[in-house]
Amino acid sequence: MFKNLQHTTTLHNGVKMPWLGLGVFKVKEGPELVNAVKFAIKQGYRSIDTAAIYENEAGVGQAIKEAMEETGLSREELFITSKVWNSDLGYESAIAAYETSLNKLGLDYLDLYLIHWPVEDKYKDAWRALETLYKEGKVKAIGVSNFQVHHLEDLLKDAEIKPMINQVEYHPRLTQLDVKPFCEKNGIQLEAWSPLMQGQLLDHPTLVELSKKYNKAVSQIIIRWDLQNGVVTIPKSTNEQRIVENANIFDFELSNEDMELINSLNQNLRVGPDPDNFDF
Ligand code: NDP
């Protein structure tokens, strides 16, 4: 079913998005960032996930440009995501933030633009801005991040366009038992951030057992579990060996039984902020 790094899921508006991409959270501008993104693209990654708040869009853009020059890939073959930060969630400010992100990235469109966090009383204005950008053809797909079911229900009451994506924290300790089925029912593709729980799951005994059984790294077991659960995923690494490792998941399949075993590790445990209780 999942063939390789270029394999895509089709969002509800027909846009195709790779199942697996590269995250760059906490990676500072500089050679480590540029080299990692460039290396990943050369290894076959097509999807890169950044955000205004990561303050690394310029480096991501430089890496994209250099990778395209060096590989001959066209812009259309890549899938670039960024996110509007909380301080820009007004209508005009979100539109301006999109332009700023584009300029920093050196691109003339994004494949996906997300509302980064569901700031109460603000995300609806920002959503109207994203709808405008989408209707004007400036962005291929729009979505949200860190939206709980009640945020989505509230947004959908007024939305003209349904989000194509909800990017949330998702890993074996947090399987999003209510958000996931809600998104599936509504045709909103779920996307996992911190799929590796920022490294905290790599010595989990059950996952280590599965790692031995399948002769795969724990990170590979988790990333494969994401895909088999129908969840797009964007593990972060700047290490070349791990960038390769995280993508080497297309030559095995977890059994239904082992999928259930991993699903059963859920404890509703977060490594990041709680979307119902954050103060930024
Ligand atoms: P991840 O769960 O992807 O974990 C990244 C950590 O795991 C890094 O320390 C990395 O180190 C390490 N790692 C990666 N691969 C391996 C491997 N194969 N073996 C061992 N260690 C490994 O965490 P992130 O929080 O970075 O999440 C992924 C992406 O999701 C982000 O980069 C960002 O793009 C997005 N995100 C979105 C959020 C949102 O609010 N929408 C919030 C947080 C993240 P090293 O680099 O040294 O390999």
Tell whether ligand 1 has an atom less than 6 A from the beta carbon of residue 145.
yes
Instruction: Report the predicted TM-score, pTM, of the whole model to 2 decimal places.
Output: 0.98
- Report domain extents, the chain: 8-200+231-236
Return the sign of the alpha-carbon dihedral for residues 269, 271, 272, 277.
Answer: positive
The percent of residues above 70 in pLDDT, for the chain, comes to 100
**pLDDT tens digit string along 1-54?**
799 999 999 999 999 999 999 999 999 999 999 999 999 999 999 999 999 999
**How many angstroms separate the CA atoms of 273 and 26, rounded?**
15
**Closest to 190 measured CA to CA, from 137, 136, 229:** 229
Q: What distance in angstroms lies between residue 22's CA and the mean position of ligand 1's atoms?
A: 9
**How many angstroms separate the CA atoms of 155 and 164, rounded?**
13
**Assigned fold of 8-200+231-236:** TIM Barrel (3.20.20)
**pLDDT tens digit string along 141-188?**
999 999 999 999 999 999 999 999 999 999 999 999 999 999 999 999
pLDDT of res. 225: 98
pLDDT of res. 1: 78
Q: Which residue has the tokens 């590796």?
A: 196
* Catalytic (active site) residue 54: yes
Tell whether ligand 1 has an atom less than 6 A from the beta carbon of residue 132.
no
The residue whose C-alpha atom lies closest to atom 42 belonging to ligand 1 is 193
- If one residue of 22, 25, 243 were mutated to test the ligand 1 pocket, choosing by the most ligand atoms within 8 A of its CB, it would be 25
Q: What distance in angstroms lies between residue 156's CA and the mean position of ligand 1's atoms?
A: 30
pLDDT of res. 203: 97
**pLDDT tens digit string along 95-110?**
999 999 999 999 999 9
